[in-house]
Amino acid sequence: MKAISIGLLGLGTVGSGVVKIIESHQDKLMHQIGCPVKVSKVLVKNMEKERAVAIDKNLLSSRPEEVLEDPEIDVIIEVMGGIEETREYILQALQNKKHVVTANKDLMALYGAELLQTATENECDLFYEASVAGGIPILRGLTDGLSSDRITKMMGIVNGTTNFILTKMSKEGRPYEEVLKEAQELGFAESDPTADVEGLDAARKMAILATLGFSMNVELDDVMVEGITNISEEDLEYSKTLGYTMKLIGMASRSGNNVEVSVQPALLAESHPLASVNNEYNAVYVYGEAVGETMFYGPGAGSLPTATAVVSDLVAVLKNLRLGVNGRSAISPQFPKSLKRSDEIFAKFFIRLHVKDEVGVLAKITNIFAEHGVGFDKILQLPLTDHGASEIVLVTHKASMAAFEQIKQKLNDFEMVNQIKSTYRVEGEDNK
């Protein structure tokens, strides 16, 4: 019985996990696909580096062609990261008729359409379950489990680093910089955390989710992005006072054929299931016209959880190989891309203002909102230590983003308003 040969690009955290699972789960893999699976060659940058997994050094190579051009290798697993060089490697692998499994969200968000097209042309599989939420099978859930339904909304926590930071800030009252340092020490955050804390990592994942969930070619530039670096301890305290939890939320929603995709800090009603997703965990809430509401929850990163998703994709490739149907699973987008305008996006909004402490200020501010047909769900007014100033915190009823932007502009121009301190979207409760 001929073994299936695997070429591995990268032997870092996830790559080591892939080797461990393939070695320790041979009986499971044999049962699933009917033949042994072996790692035949591994591309690494440093041949002498200490590894987190015991591996025969004869399998290591620093030369890409030894993996990509080897006629005995059936499947390439890419867990090296990077974009441009990695894209060239995957294109070369597909053109050499090798199936590909990748965990690379950056690559798939930017070049997914091109790579999937190349895979189809060469009758190869290209699977990328691990690119979005680590060990959570969200992509397979969309493409297989919910394939008969029409997805209307996906809302989730898809970045473990920011969720860890916000959980610690909110529950322990600690400042951002201190918690970020802890996240870096624990390995949850990179030494340069920009991609995580500015929302770029989550945006790439939401572009992938929206493309699959809405069958529309959503690109990274289509995602509205805001990170967590400007969230203050006061914002978190007011969130709790008003019955909310602050999370970095990835949102993809569809009305008719028009879609909105965004990543931004949002206040979630404490009763919503996503509000209880803490620390480094991820979760994606999916709304379907037929199924209603479902939630996918689990570890969003880590060696073995992510490697589990990679090896599950490998099993899918090998089952297709046995059936002779490789390269037929990719489905071209069904709909042309159509993004919602700001007057088509509706939500509740939180706004925190510093104003002059004078009689009638709140009434005048209320009039500004009323001119745009926007009422209030919640109001707090508190004195500030600054003499002659007070703080007003408002949560609106459902309003269009266009109307809210116009209101913010008028408040900026209003002499009674000293400063708009912060604004956030509010999700997860009845949007009356």
Whether residues 161 and 15 share a domain: the answer is no
Specify whether 313 is located in the same domain as 347. Answer: no
Instruction: Over range 345-366, report the average pLDDT.
Output: 94
| Distance from the first to the final alpha carbon of the chain | 63
Strand partners, 8: 42, 77
The predicted pLDDT at position 147 comes to 83
Q: For the chain, what is the mean pLDDT?
A: 92
Provide the CATH number for the domain around residue 382.
3.30.70.260
Average pLDDT over residues 37-56: 89
Are the C-beta atoms of residues 372 and 409 closer than 8 Å to each other? no
Is the predicted pLDDT of residue 173 greater than 80, yes or no? yes
For residues 146 and 279, membership in a common domain is answered with yes
User: Among candidates 224, 218, 204, which has minimal Cα distance to 336?
Assistant: 218
Looking at the fold, whether 267 and 310 belong to one and the same domain comes out as no
- Examine the domain organization and report whether 149 and 255 are in the same domain: yes
- Please give the model's pTM, rounded to 2 decimal places: 0.90
Cβ neighbour number for residue 413 with a 10 Å cutoff:
9
Indicate which residue of 20, 105, 168, 205 is catalytic.
205
Q: Is the pLDDT assigned to residue 330 strictly greater than 80? A: no
Predicted confidence band at 431 (pLDDT cuts at 50, 70, 90)?
A: very low
Taking Cα atoms as reference points, which of 128, 127, 62, 73 lies closest to residue 96? 73
- Higher pLDDT: 47 or 342? It is 342
- Amino acid at site 264: Q
pLDDT at 432: 41
Q: Is residue 270 included in any domain, yes or no?
A: yes
Is there a domain that residue 102 lies in?
yes
CATH, residue 178: 3.30.360.10
Same domain, 127 and 218: no
The mean per-residue pLDDT over the stretch 259-282 comes to 95
Q: Average pLDDT for residues 345-368, to the nearest whole number? A: 95
Q: What is the predicted pLDDT for the residue at 111?
A: 93
Same structural domain, 63 and 209: no
Instruction: Quote the pLDDT of residue 2.
Output: 82
Backbone angles phi, psi at 321, to 5 degrees: -60, -45
**205 tagged catalytic:** yes
Identify the CATH number of the domain in which residue 21 sits.
Answer: 3.40.50.720
Number of domain units in the chain: 3
Query: Do residues 265 and 190 both lie within one domain?
Result: yes
> H/E element holding 426?
strand 417-427
* Poorest-pLDDT segment among 16-25, 197-206, 378-387: 378-387
Whether 334 maps to a domain, the answer reads no
Q: 324 pLDDT exceeds 90?
A: no
| pLDDT tens readout for residues 222-270 | 999 999 999 999 999 999 999 999 999 999 999 988 999 999 999 999 9
pLDDT tops 90 at residue 430: no
Q: Residues 62-75: pLDDT tens digits?
A: 999 999 999 999 99
Q: Are 97 and 147 in the same domain?
A: no
In one-letter notation, the amino acid at residue 118 is T
Query: Percentage of the chain surpassing pLDDT 70?
Result: 99
- The answer as to whether 386 is a domain residue is yes
Considering the domain architecture, whether residues 20 and 122 belong to the same structural domain is answered as yes
Determine the structural domain holding residue 390 and report its residue range.
343-427
333 belongs to a structural domain: no
Q: Is residue 247 part of a domain?
A: yes
Is 330 inside a domain boundary? no
Q: Are residues 171 and 194 in the same domain?
A: yes
Indicate if 115 and 142 belong to the same structural domain: no
103-155 residue pLDDT tens: 999 999 999 989 999 999 999 999 999 899 878 889 988 888 888 889 999 99
Q: Specify the DSSP element, H or E, that contains 164.
A: helix 160-172
More confident site: 149 or 328: 149
Q: Give the per-residue pLDDT at 60.
A: 95
Q: Is residue 338 part of a domain?
A: no
